[in-house]
Amino acid sequence: MENIQSLENLILEMRRGVIVLAVLSQCNQEQYGYSLMKSISEKGLEIDQGTLYPLLRRLETQGLLSSSWRLEDARPRRYYMISQEGQEILPKLVEEWESMVRMMRHMLE
């Protein structure tokens, strides 16, 4: 039981490392929080709401995302989109990710 818990924690920790890349890659078009979570989830990566929403704020503070409030169906929604700075950083992160995948494959062979 304890081993299963440890395994889950280890997997969670591994996934945490790729969330930023996943979020930035999905923000090429404007997305509001819930739609972004659904879109990432449909592609197989489950992100907890308590992780995603504060992360969006953090990425905005870091200048990698920009946000704007919009009124839709009499309801305010905050839309996020990758910023100019984010667009410059994303390819570098993708390159780094691919290099890490190659390195890990080589290591695990």
For the bound state, the minimum distance from the C-beta of residue 79 to other proteins, rounded and expressed in Å, comes to: 11
Give whichever of 70 and 102 is closer to other proteins, judged by the CB atom. Answer: 70
State the angle between helix axes of 33-42 and 49-61 in degrees (0 to 180), rounded to the nearest 10.
120
Q: How far is the CB of 1 from other proteins (least distance, A)?
A: 23
Tell me, letter by letter, the H, E, C secondary structure of 11-38: HHHHHHCCHHHHHHHCCCCCEEHHHHHH
Nearer to other proteins, 9 or 99 (CB): 9
Distance from C-alpha of 57 to C-alpha of 66, rounded to nearest angstrom: 9
Kindly tell me which of 34 and 99 has the beta carbon lying closer to other proteins: 34
What does the binding site for other proteins look like in residue numbers (CB under 8 A)? 32-35, 38, 49-51, 53-54, 57, 69, 75-78
